[in-house]
Amino acid sequence: MGTLNDVPDKLNFLGTKMKNKISRRKFLRDASIVSSSFATFNLLSCNNNKKPNIIIIFCDDLGYGDLGTFGHPSIRTPNLDKLAAEGQKWTNFYAAASVCTPSRAGILTGRLPIRSGMCSDVRRVLFPDSAGGLPQTEITIAAALKQAGYKNACIGKWHLGHLNQYLPTNHGFDYYYGIPYSNDMDAIKGTTRKEQINPRTEYFNVPLMRNEEIIERPADQNSITKRYTEEAVKYIRQNKDQPFFIYLAHNLPHIPLFASSDFNNTSKRGLYGDVIEEIDFGVGEIIKTLKENGLDKNTLVIFTSDNGPWLAFNQHGGSAGLLRNGKGTTWEGGMREPTIFWNPSKIKPAVIAGMGSTLDLFSTVCNLAGAQVPADRIMDSFNLLPTLFDGKPSPRNLFFYYRGTEIYAVRKGDFKIHLITQNSYTKNNEKIVHNPPQLYNIQVDPSEKYNISEQHPEIIEGILKDLVEHKSKLIPGEDQLAKRIVKSDQ
């Protein structure tokens, strides 16, 4: 079949390409210089001195409260519950954004999406008619690990640009198998709500790709979670003798929901539960494969999600548990994710209530792998290894909640201010500016019910200083989400 570049991309100028190439070359040169003086080189149990493998399992629209270990009463997730009990369960862990594209830019680059231009006030995510994508100047975890000798696979949803130059294989991944954007896009029959919640796979003309080729269109979504797991298992087996990185980005439980015949109609939570239980089963298969190949002790497995539950879809959306609101908002339910780190040889089992973010995975993984964290740009990524392996407090104390290119909220320690609040995916979505900002102690009040701004103006003042400092250094990247493909017949 074809590629997604069959629609000409008139916005992709040669000049930009050249600049990107130069910047990337500069990074690699810098990296080689710095790596020789690399101080803390953390390996897992290395019988054969092999670098540790890394698997990031990244869900789509999974709610904070949707796993057993995070409190769901009817969704069964025995495999994830076990990983949480044996590893570290992080209860204050944030996605880089409250919607797909910027969140994915954040996890893969370790940089706030605004720096790469992967958030916008024009469109919140990339669409099939988008011409932009993750700039080639950006360095993904895969690109950094490739320099450290890793083989890298991206399995699942990409959503960082579907034109060739933006695809995983052009961002450090050796292998790609998945869909390039959300599973509700390219809708054949339109995306009426009814079709979204009583979906058939043929309603959505989403392509399934292998590397840069479309191999199936529409992708058979019924079996897609199963096939992602199978691809991951195969990649582990094929690469067991060398360090590998798998970024397994399930495109579910984003609507439309699909489960394979083994899971359809099996969960007490309905189709949404079927989907989560199939993902959990897949986690179990991956762990089993690691163990069968003697890789478990030398593999770090990280499980999290891209943003909160899509509440507007009622039972087809997830639950943020006791957290307020969901996807698309900067309330906790929109960006706090159920997160688990697992490695049976090095991780100190614990529940971590300190802050962490998907932004931190870049630095954490690179430090683990002995790969270089780029020194030529501002990073927003903390190395969490001292917490993971030694029980030290999390190094992250500050988090900025962006919506598009604006900062709506800031958390410092246990306190969070809301400068702006706004609902998403509902008619009642007025943008409300708060002056003074709202203030919550979100460890005492995780549901953000009790605004304590009047009692603690000094806390607000302190956080605002950090905000000014952050903004003073911020250089937004060129907006990638506003760019649209100019069709040749126009």
Contact with a second copy (CB under 8 A): which of 31, 62, 72, 124?
Answer: 72
- Residue in this structure with the two tokens 């919607």, named with its chain if needed: 99
Assess 74 for contact with a second copy (CB under 8 A). yes
**Cis peptide before 256, with omega less than 30 degrees from 0?**
yes
- Residue 421 backbone phi and psi in degrees, to 5: -125, 150
How far is 203 from 260, CA to CA, in rounded Å?
Answer: 17
Q: How far is the CB of 17 from a second copy (least distance, A)?
A: 45
- Residue 173 backbone phi and psi in degrees, to 5: -90, 135
Contact with a second copy (CB under 8 A): which of 9, 51, 55, 76?
Answer: 76
> Which residues contact residue 28 at a Cβ distance below 8 angstroms, ignoring those fewer than 6 apart?
147
Q: How far is the CB of 77 from a second copy (least distance, A)?
A: 9
Contact with a second copy (CB under 8 A): which of 53, 79, 88, 91?
Answer: 91
What is the pattern of x (binds a second copy, CB under 8 A) and - over residues 329-358? -------x--------------x-x-----
How far is 421 from 428, CA to CA, in rounded Å?
Answer: 12
Assess 426 for contact with a second copy (CB under 8 A). no
Assess 446 for contact with a second copy (CB under 8 A). yes
Which DSSP letter does residue 447 get?
T
Give DSSP secondary structure letters for 45-62: --TT-PPPEEEEEEESS-
Q: How far is the CB of 218 from a second copy (least distance, A)?
A: 28
Residue span binding a second copy (CB under 8 A) among the ranges 78-86, 101-109, 161-169, 403-411: 78-86
Assess 466 for contact with a second copy (CB under 8 A). no
How far is 15 from 29, CA to CA, in rounded Å?
Answer: 22
Assess 65 for contact with a second copy (CB under 8 A). yes
User: Given the complex with a second copy, which of 268 and 465 has the nearer CB atom?
Assistant: 268
- Residue in this structure with the two tokens 């009990």, named with its chain if needed: 85
Q: CA triplet 84, 156, 152: central angle to 5 degrees?
A: 85
Q: How far is the CB of 342 from a second copy (least distance, A)?
A: 14
Assess 191 for contact with a second copy (CB under 8 A). no
Assess 443 for contact with a second copy (CB under 8 A). yes
Assess 450 for contact with a second copy (CB under 8 A). yes
Q: How many CB atoms lie within 10 A of CB 490?
A: 5
How far is 147 from 141, CA to CA, in rounded Å?
Answer: 10
| Residues 231-290 within binding reach of a second copy (CB under 8 A) | 268-270, 272-273
Assess 317 for contact with a second copy (CB under 8 A). no
How far is 97 from 313, CA to CA, in rounded Å?
Answer: 20
Question: Which of 72, 159, 171, 418 does the annotation list as catalytic?
Answer: 159
Tokens of 295: 């890789």
Assess 113 for contact with a second copy (CB under 8 A). no
Tokens of 35: 């790596």
Assess 69 for contact with a second copy (CB under 8 A). yes
Q: What are the CA-CA distances from residue 37 to residues 52, 371, 372, 446 (Å)?
A: 20, 12, 11, 42
Residue span binding a second copy (CB under 8 A) among the ranges 106-114, 127-135, 318-326, 377-385: 318-326
- Residue in this structure with the two tokens 């500050």, named with its chain if needed: 398
How long, in residues, is the chain? 490
Tokens of 444: 């005492």
Question: Which of 100, 119, 154, 366 does the annotation list as catalytic?
Answer: 100
Query: Residue 400: how many CA atoms within 13 Å on its side-chain side?
Result: 22
Applying CB under 8 A, the site for a second copy has a residue count of: 39
**100 classed as catalytic:** yes
How far is 309 from 63, CA to CA, in rounded Å?
Answer: 4
Q: How far is the CB of 272 from a second copy (least distance, A)?
A: 8
How far is 307 from 400, CA to CA, in rounded Å?
Answer: 15
Assess 327 for contact with a second copy (CB under 8 A). no
Contact with a second copy (CB under 8 A): which of 30, 81, 195, 466?
Answer: 81
User: Given the complex with a second copy, which of 354 and 476 has the nearer CB atom?
Assistant: 354
Assess 162 for contact with a second copy (CB under 8 A). no
Assess 315 for contact with a second copy (CB under 8 A). yes
Contact with a second copy (CB under 8 A): which of 52, 68, 253, 308?
Answer: 68
Assess 444 for contact with a second copy (CB under 8 A). yes
Assess 321 for contact with a second copy (CB under 8 A). yes
Assess 445 for contact with a second copy (CB under 8 A). yes
Look at strands 93-94 and 356-357 and give their pairing: parallel
How far is 416 from 467, CA to CA, in rounded Å?
Answer: 12
Q: Which residues are the active-site residues? A: 100, 159
List of residues contacting a second copy (CB under 8 A): 65, 68-74, 76, 78, 81, 85, 89, 91-92, 268-270, 272-273, 314-315, 319-323, 336, 351, 353, 414, 441, 443-447, 449-450
